[in-house]
Structures are given as C-alpha cells and as structure tokens.
C-alpha cells in the first residue's frame, strides 16, 4: 500500500490533456484540513482540493454538492465518525476514499484495518511531532495514496461479499509441521480481499498460509487479530523463528521481509529488515522464492489486488518448482497491477474472482496432494 515507508519517485509534470482529480478533505481539525490541503496543493499538479468538510455529516453534504473524484477522510470525528461516513459513501455515492489515521493513537490501527475492509483504498498516517519533519513523508504517502485512488476499479469494490466462515469437521487437528504451504501477495485493496479469503478457508486446510500484505509496521498486528477473529484458522503476526505449522496463518510483519528458512525441526519463519524490494517491505517475492526452495511442488501461490509487480517473479519461481498458482481476476481487483504482472510473467493454474479464490486454493491443494499420493504409490 502507498502508506508503506518507501521512497516515491519525483513527481512528473502533468500533460495538458491529463485530467486533474478533485479532492475533498475531511477532518474535524481546522489545522489538519489546512495542512492536508496545502500538501495536496503543493505536492502535485495531478490533484486539486475542491473543498473541505469538518465532520462526517458535512462531508456527505459536500460530496453531493461538489462530486469530488477522491475523498480523504479522518477516522476519528465527532457525531458521524470516519467508519460510519465511509459506510454511507460506499453505499450511496461510491468513490475512492483515503483514510487519515492518527499514528500511535489508541485503537487507530484497528479502526484503519476496519476501514480498509469497508472499502477505503488506502490510508495515510497524519503528521506527528515536529510538523516540518513529517510533511515530506506525508507528502510522499498522500500522493502515492491519491495515485492509487485514481486507478481504483470501483466495480471491484461493489461486488465484494464476505462468504460464510468455514467450520471444522471431525476431531480437532494437531498443528503439525507443515508439508504444504499457501503463499499470498496483496497490496492496495488487500485487507478487504483477505477478509473474504481467509475466513472462507477451512480449519482442516492441511497447509500453512503465509501472507505478505504491503503495510507499514504497527498495522499488521491489527490485521492479524482482525482475521483471527473472523476465521476458524488461527492467524498471527509472524515472528522470526516461528515454526511453520499446518492450519495456521502467518502475516508478515510491517517493515520486515518474511522468508521460509530450514530449521533443525522443520521449516521456520525468518524476518529481516533488508532493503525494500519493488519499493516495499515486506515484499512477496522473497517469500515466494524461499517457499519454492523449501517446499518445491508443495506450494500454492496467489497474487491478489495491488499496484506494481511484486509477486510476479516469485509466482514464476513457485511454478518453476512445480507448484501451482492462483491470480485474482481483473473484475474483482481493486487495482489490477499485481495480478496482471503475475499473469503475464508466470501464468496461472486458475484466474479467479475474489469470492472464488478460497475455493481455488482448496481445490489446488487437494489436487496437488492427490497427485503426490498417486506418484508415491507408483514408485
């Protein structure tokens, strides 16, 4: 997501034919409305602030009056808060929304994750501390988020619906060392997609699930807790040295790459703060490649919605090792960049609409296990 602490390329000049996107800035603080408006005005010629609103009710009135292309929306506001306002926007007058999150505020990470589930494109942490030191970072994050918002497929947002939560059948399962893994890459729109996919996976999946969601530190723990509450599979934020076990979901920690390592007792997770790859950390390519090296053909990879091409080379490594691949389709991708790059680079065994991704993962795991069992019986 654009909120990751990664470098942004110098802003290009806008051609005369490029349409300037209008932005409505919503915040209960007059100071923050001015700061965000100034950042947008001075950061890029691609966007123009068309108005400001002091709370959720004012925002809804302004949206109907001004018809902005994009809305920046504070999460915590009096009367109608950011989540309630977002719900009205997506239900009544859908458009790309970028959330503004107060870094370090109690509960802000949980509220941000919920906003991304509800359809917000991205989030930006507000300036904290000495304003002059934060504005450069905020500028990069906000322009990146607004550019992502400009590419959003709103039809993809509108078709999403959470499937029933999977249920465990038979005796409770022991969390043994994983022999099979599912690796997933996601970026812009990813938290919403993951909230559809992970709860639809059964508790007896018979594989570990390793997920890279482009997200800065401080938010991936809330994402893991949210998915854990929705799912029958246990979900946690990854830590170095964790054993990789069946029927567990591991979310890469924000700010750290996650890889599969070989331990004395079996595969484990390894985290490192090495250089960003494709401008992001965590990146999916290192995870996919290491999973392919460790598990060979016992890997199923999936590349979901997002900007850029992270996951494309990694998915090719998975398929080269004999593993299988799922790519989210264009219709249900909030942004089709990552799936499109993965499909062009690696191909796929399945191209699936979001509601069908969990089913595709289960079926590919089942077919892979059946193939291995048959091959073993013949040798």
Active site residues: 187, 214, 310
Please list the residues that pair with 24 across neighbouring strands.
Answer: 51, 71
CB burial of 55-72 (b: ≥16 within 10 Å; e: otherwise) equals bbbbbbebbeeeebbbbb
Region at 189 (left for phi over 0; alpha for psi -120 to 50; beta for the rest):
left
Closest CA to 74 of 20, 127, 5: 127
Tokens of 205: 């999946």
Cα separation values, 375 from 15, 301, 371, Å: 59, 22, 6
Contacts of 374 (CB under 8 A, 6+ apart): none
Q: Could you identify the residue written with the tokens 């890997």? A: 299
Q: Could you identify the residue written with the tokens 């460790």? A: 294
Helices (H), the chain: 30-43, 56-66, 82-92, 108-118, 131-150, 154-158, 190-197, 220-230, 284-295, 312-320, 337-346, 354-378
CB burial of 278-306 (b: ≥16 within 10 Å; e: otherwise) equals bbbbbbbbbbbbbbbebbebbbbbbbbbb
């Amino acid at each position: 997501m654009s909120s990751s602490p990664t470098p942004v390329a110098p802003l290009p000049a806008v051609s005369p034919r490029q349409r300037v996107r209008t932005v409505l800035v919503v915040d209960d603080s007059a100071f923050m409305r001015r700061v965000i408006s100034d950042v947008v005005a001075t950061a890029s010629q691609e966007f123009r602030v068309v108005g400001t609103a002091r709370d959720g009710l004012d925002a809804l009135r302004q949206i109907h009056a001004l018809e902005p292309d994009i809305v920046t929306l504070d999460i915590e506001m009096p009367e109608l808060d950011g989540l309630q306002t977002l719900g009205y926007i997506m239900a009544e007058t859908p458009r790309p929304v970028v959330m503004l999150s107060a870094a370090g505020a109690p509960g802000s990470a949980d509220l941000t994750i919920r906003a991304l589930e509800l359809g917000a494109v991205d989030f930006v942490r507000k300036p904290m501390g000495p304003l002059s030191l934060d504005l450069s970072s905020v500028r990069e994050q906000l322009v990146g988020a607004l550019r992502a918002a400009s590419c959003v497929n709103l039809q993809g947002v509108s078709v999403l619906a959470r499937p029933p939560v999977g249920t465990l059948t038979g005796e409770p399962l022991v969390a043994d060392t994983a022999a099979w893994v599912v690796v997933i890459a996601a970026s812009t729109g990813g938290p919403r997609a993951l909230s559809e996919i992970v709860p639809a996976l059964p508790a007896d999946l018979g594989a570990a699930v390793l997920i890279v969601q482009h997200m800065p530190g401080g938010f991936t723990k809330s994402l893991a807790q949210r998915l854990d509450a929705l799912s029958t599979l246990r979900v946690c934020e990854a830590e170095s040295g964790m054993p990789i076990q069946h029927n567990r979901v591991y979310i890469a920690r924000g700010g750290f790459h996650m890889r599969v390592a070989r331990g004395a007792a079996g595969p484990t997770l390894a985290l490192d703060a090495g250089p960003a790859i494709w401008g992001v950390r965590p990146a999916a390519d290192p995870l996919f490649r290491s999973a392919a090296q460790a598990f060979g053909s016992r890997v199923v990879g999936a590349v979901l919605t997002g900007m850029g091409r992270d996951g494309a080379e990694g998915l090719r490594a998975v398929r080269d090792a004999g593993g299988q691949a799922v790519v989210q389709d264009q219709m249900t991708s909030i942004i089709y960049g990552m799936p499109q790059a993965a499909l062009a680079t690696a191909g796929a065994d399945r191209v699936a609409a979001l509601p069908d991704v969990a089913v595709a993962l289960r079926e590919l795991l089942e077919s892979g296990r059946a193939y291995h069992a048959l091959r073993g019986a013949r040798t």
